[in-house]
């Protein structure tokens, strides 16, 4: 394929601004699917439909053929990118595979923080960015205002922004023509040794691991022996192809092209995003720049509510990992919760996705322990051991406090974009979470003015409920984006929660000394409401070391449930007792105290 006739691009958009709808339209317009296939729903976003058709999930890249105004047919590769901060590295590799991007902005909503972060990333990759103002069909659309916002806020020339309605099909040809005209063709040399970037991979039950690649130099073809330079493994390519979005097999992919390969690989953990694929016989000397191994940053314990589900949980985790090498798990046992797994995630959203899939697809009832970030503990010399630094993933494994010389915690830089009226509340929230303000600017004009604040925050203060709080105090208007900026020393301590004098390890957490008391008090108050009364008094305490910093007491209950039944209606009494038994099954016994499972999750939500 002539490089001049190829265009590789991604779509940048804030959630709900119409990325999927536009992608569908582009596929439809270029003949990838018939009208009937289209009406079945969004092609790039729909698992069920994809499975039905044997099109593989993961909304990967699609190849579009478009006859442009010059009469020539172009190959347009639309690269789908995950839209969330948790998957920043994957996003960066997808972007590195493209030369340009469509920036889709909702004509009624305007520019949002998440969009900004992605746009800046795209600019860093030297992308040509084509603004598309979408949803111009909406009565509330203000395309001119949004055009000005794109220029003022992002600093892009939006004078030739395409006005579109992905829903009504307005401006679709213009978008395609703009891709051909504005986005530069890829560069690459067919005669050089093969260098292809591993952009993404996923597990397909029929094909095994499917790998999305972007060829930089050389050619990748069927039957070729290739080497993965970072992993150090070699494989025989057995399939080469592209998605239109139907699978189309090809003989080869040349420089500048994006497509997929398979090589009888069984697990995605063997295919690291960002790896360089080269030819075994005629290898490249250097791998592509920018390779990074992804590491989980948020850890929590997952325990089956019903201990009998442990094996099922293990199997489900294995299955999920087939398709997602970025989360980790290892067995963990807890005095309170029994056997479960300590799992690592790229971020809170990632955690929620996995948790949700376990609950919904695998029908598991789970208890999640307090999410924790990774702390660096500097330990001083002991009688038997030298001084050393360890990484702590689980507050339950906290070493002897006497040996801790210092603790470092991860920090992030957050960008928050919020209408002026909610700014005060946002600043207070950041301040309460030990934030350090770095920047505060106003963008836009008149009624569309919004504040953009940058804060440095400890990740520990963000993982619990920061995002929820931010959304609720801004009535949903604030948007939030962050990236990690390294570890810093902090005055951190382990806070234990004791129920009836017994420490509940699932509830222990590492907190900053300055916020320990507030956190501890909040936790005790919430547990007081969540733990039902027993026949005896139950003290609930938060403690640091041996020192109690907060305390609540659940008073004793005297009456039996059945005492409510006047007379001797036996059936009624039996029903009540059965109900009580059922309720019990969802409880966890702590010594002599039963804690409902909801209490764990609810208690962890900071008020």
Task: Examine residue 82 and tell whether it contacts ligand GTP (CB under 6 A).
Answer: no
**Closer residue to ligand GTP in complex, CB, 138/565:** 138
Task: Examine residue 117 and tell whether it contacts ligand GTP (CB under 6 A).
Answer: no
Task: Examine residue 47 and tell whether it contacts ligand GTP (CB under 6 A).
Answer: no
Task: Examine residue 19 and tell whether it contacts ligand GTP (CB under 6 A).
Answer: yes
Site for ligand GTP (CB under 6 A): how many residues? 17
3-state secondary structure of 553: strand
Strands (E) in 305-403, as ranges, are 328-334, 338-345, 366-368, 372-373, 375-379, 388-392
CB 274 within 8 A of CB 290: yes
**Closer residue to ligand GTP in complex, CB, 15/280:** 15
Task: Examine residue 50 and tell whether it contacts ligand GTP (CB under 6 A).
Answer: no
Task: Examine residue 7 and tell whether it contacts ligand GTP (CB under 6 A).
Answer: no
Task: Examine residue 469 and tell whether it contacts ligand GTP (CB under 6 A).
Answer: no
Per CB under 6 A, the list member of 83, 283, 338, 419 interacting with ligand GTP is 83
**Residue 501: which of 467, 549, 542 has the closest Cα?**
542
How many other C-beta atoms can be found within 10 angstroms of the C-beta atom of residue 83?
16
Shortest spacing between CB 19 and ligand GTP, in angstroms: 4
CB 435 within 8 A of CB 416: no
Task: Examine residue 78 and tell whether it contacts ligand GTP (CB under 6 A).
Answer: no
What separation, in Å, do the N-terminal and C-terminal C-alpha atoms of the chain show?
Answer: 59
**Packed helices 597-604 and 513-530: angle between N→C axes, nearest 10 degrees:** 150
Task: Examine residue 138 and tell whether it contacts ligand GTP (CB under 6 A).
Answer: yes
Per CB under 6 A, the list member of 8, 10, 20, 77 interacting with ligand GTP is 20
Per CB under 6 A, the list member of 165, 201, 326, 496 interacting with ligand GTP is 165
Per CB under 6 A, the list member of 6, 8, 9, 18 interacting with ligand GTP is 18
**Closer residue to ligand GTP in complex, CB, 147/393:** 147
Shortest spacing between CB 158 and ligand GTP, in angstroms: 17
Sheet architecture: strand order including 276-279: 233-236, 225-228, 276-279, 195-204, 208-217, 258-262, 239-243, 247-250
How many other C-beta atoms can be found within 10 angstroms of the C-beta atom of residue 251?
10
How many Å apart are CA 447 and CA 214, to the nearest integer?
44
How many Å apart are CA 18 and CA 138, to the nearest integer?
13
Task: Examine residue 167 and tell whether it contacts ligand GTP (CB under 6 A).
Answer: yes
Per CB under 6 A, the list member of 6, 12, 13, 599 interacting with ligand GTP is 13
**Residue 559: which of 530, 580, 529 has the closest Cα?**
580
Task: Examine residue 29 and tell whether it contacts ligand GTP (CB under 6 A).
Answer: no
Per CB under 6 A, the list member of 2, 4, 15, 438 interacting with ligand GTP is 15
Task: Examine residue 465 and tell whether it contacts ligand GTP (CB under 6 A).
Answer: no
**Residue 401: which of 488, 497, 494 has the closest Cα?**
494
Task: Examine residue 10 and tell whether it contacts ligand GTP (CB under 6 A).
Answer: no
Q: CB under 8 Å to 415, separation ≥6 — which residues? A: 113, 116, 117, 452, 453, 454, 480, 481, 482
Shortest spacing between CB 87 and ligand GTP, in angstroms: 13
Task: Examine residue 364 and tell whether it contacts ligand GTP (CB under 6 A).
Answer: no
Q: Which residue has the tokens 């289209």?
A: 38
Task: Examine residue 38 and tell whether it contacts ligand GTP (CB under 6 A).
Answer: no
| Region from 165-173, 319-327, 550-558, 574-582 binding ligand GTP, contact rule CB under 6 A | 165-173
Per CB under 6 A, the list member of 81, 115, 134, 394 interacting with ligand GTP is 134
* Token duo for residue 70: 């010059």
**Closer residue to ligand GTP in complex, CB, 478/595:** 478
How many Å apart are CA 419 and CA 449, to the nearest integer?
7
**Residue 414: which of 459, 455, 373 has the closest Cα?**
455
Shortest spacing between CB 18 and ligand GTP, in angstroms: 3
Shortest spacing between CB 165 and ligand GTP, in angstroms: 4
How many Å apart are CA 62 and CA 85, to the nearest integer?
23
Shortest spacing between CB 262 and ligand GTP, in angstroms: 27
Q: Where is the binding site for GTP, in residues?
A: 16-21, 134-137
Q: Which residues bind ligand GTP (CB under 6 A)?
A: 13, 15-21, 45, 83, 134-135, 137-138, 165-167
């Amino acid at each position: 394929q002539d490089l001049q006739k190829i265009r590789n691009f991604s779509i940048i958009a804030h959630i709900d601004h119409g990325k999927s709808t536009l992608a569908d339209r582009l596929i439809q317009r270029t003949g990838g699917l018939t009208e009937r296939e289209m009406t079945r729903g969004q092609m790039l976003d729909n698992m069920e439909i994809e499975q039905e058709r044997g099109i593989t999930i993961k909304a990967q890249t699609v190849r579009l053929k478009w006859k442009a105004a010059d009469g020539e047919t172009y190959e347009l590769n639309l690269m789908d990118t995950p839209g969330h901060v948790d998957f920043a590295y994957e996003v960066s590799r997808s972007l590195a595979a493209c030369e340009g991007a469509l920036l889709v902005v909702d004509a009624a909503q305007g520019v949002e923080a998440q969009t900004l972060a992605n746009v800046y990333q795209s600019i860093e990759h030297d992308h040509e960015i084509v603004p598309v103002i979408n949803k111009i069909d909406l009565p509330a659309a203000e395309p001119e205002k949004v055009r000005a916002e794109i220029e003022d806020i992002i600093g892009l020339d939006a004078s030739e922004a395409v006005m579109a309605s992905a829903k009504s099909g307005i401006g679709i040809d213009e978008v395609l023509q703009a891709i051909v005209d504005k986005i530069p063709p890829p560069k690459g040399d067919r005669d050089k040794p093969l260098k292809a970037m591993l952009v993404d991979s996923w597990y397909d039950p029929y094909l095994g691991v499917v790998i999305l690649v972007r060829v930089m130099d050389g050619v990748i073809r069927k039957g070729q022996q290739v080497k993965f330079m970072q992993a150090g493994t070699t494989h025989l390519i057995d399939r080469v192809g592209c998605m239109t979005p139907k699978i189309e097999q090809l003989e080869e992919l040349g420089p500048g092209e994006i497509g997929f390969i398979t090589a009888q690989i069984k697990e995605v953990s063997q295919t690291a995003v960002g790896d360089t694929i080269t030819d075994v016989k005629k290898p490249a000397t250097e791998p592509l720049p920018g390779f990074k191994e992804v590491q989980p940053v948020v850890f929590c314990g997952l325990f089956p509510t019903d201990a009998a589900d442990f094996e099922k949980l293990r199997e489900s985790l294995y299955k999920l990992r087939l398709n997602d090498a970025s989360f980790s798990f290892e067995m963990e046992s807890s005095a309170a919760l029994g056997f479960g797994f300590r799992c690592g995630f790229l971020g809170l959203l990632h955690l929620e996705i996995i948790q949700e899939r376990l609950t919904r697809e695998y029908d598991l009832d789970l208890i999640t322990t307090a999410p924790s970030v990774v702390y660096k503990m500097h330990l001083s010399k002991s009688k038997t051991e030298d001084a050393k630094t360890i990484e702590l993933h689980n507050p339950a494994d906290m070493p002897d406090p006497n040996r801790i010389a210092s603790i470092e915690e991860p920090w992030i830089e957050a960008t928050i974009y919020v209408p002026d009226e909610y700014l005060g509340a946002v600043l207070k929230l950041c301040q309460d979470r030990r934030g350090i303000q770095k920047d505060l600017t106003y963008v836009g004009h008149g009624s569309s003015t919004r504040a953009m604040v940058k804060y440095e925050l400890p990740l520990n203060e963000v993982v619990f409920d920061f995002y929820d709080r931010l959304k609720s105090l801004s009535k949903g208007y604030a948007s939030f984006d962050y990236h990690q900026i390294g570890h810093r020393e902090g005055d951190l301590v382990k806070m234990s929660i004791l129920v009836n004098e017994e420490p509940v390890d699932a509830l222990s957490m590492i907190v900053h000394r300055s916020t320990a008391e507030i956190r501890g008090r909040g936790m005790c108050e919430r547990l007081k409401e969540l733990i039902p009364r027993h026949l005896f008094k139950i003290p609930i305490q938060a403690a640091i070391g041996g020192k109690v910093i907060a305390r609540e007491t659940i008073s004793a209950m005297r009456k039996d449930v059945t005492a409510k039944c006047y007379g001797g209606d036996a059936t009624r009494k039996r029903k009540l007792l059965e109900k009580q038994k059922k309720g019990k099954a969802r409880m966890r016994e702590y010594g002599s105290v039963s804690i409902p499972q909801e209490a764990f999750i609810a208690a962890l939500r900071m008020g």
